[in-house]
Structure 1
């Protein structure tokens, strides 16, 4: 058994949409770490960043990941874009499943992501590229496999299913 499937990648790469679609097709449970944090806190991620700061959010993210890693065994988990910034998070994911990096062209992401609801991108659209470049090596070195999301969500989900033999 491979355990949980953790989807990582830049915000806007399709982690949540691909995760949901893959879960539907395979009958696995789908979890979105950001949505779990929002449900638990009764607040948006943006609000958490603005009122408590990024460090507090990162702690909540690690705590939620830890609970999922212990409680869930075969879930598909959409992770926040910055989850790979912590070695502890990477270790938790590797110990309880596989890490799949969802790659998508940064120009496509920049053209489709709303920066309004993305706390890390608040400054400007060019910041998306700076954030991506600062994280690219972590995404690539932490993943067990990667898939390219350059067509439809359906095709990306099918690619994930085929690669992992789900």
Structure 2
């Protein structure tokens, strides 16, 4: 019976502590709600609103002055261009002036262009907007794939035993 009484007191103590914890949690919850309501009421006063707005403008004007495109109202991308009365689209130059080359440089460039044409890495172009030879993206992709393949071969070579060692 003595053990049963001890167990009963322990269980009562446990229930009491659980109830005490629940009441403390409820008390904290209600206190949190009260604090939130008081903060909301204080934030609605005109003095605090003015302080918040002045701080906001201070941050926008001083701290973010380095970032010109951070705010839409600044619109730095808008540029006013001068009006030209006699402007026509036909007067826009479509070609740049040719680069002056020495004879040796010209021969070297022709040789390189011919090599690239033979390898079918470039093709001739008659467009007024491009140069004589146009390099395509797949040339770079093929080069990267080849480098990746050679790198994997080097990796495999490390694991193949030397025949002389056997």
TM-score tier after normalising by the smaller chain length: under 0.3
Larger radius of gyration: 2
Q: Which has the higher contact order (CA 8 A, sep 6+)?
A: 1
TM-score using structure 1 length: 0.18
Structure 1 or 2: more strand by fraction: 1
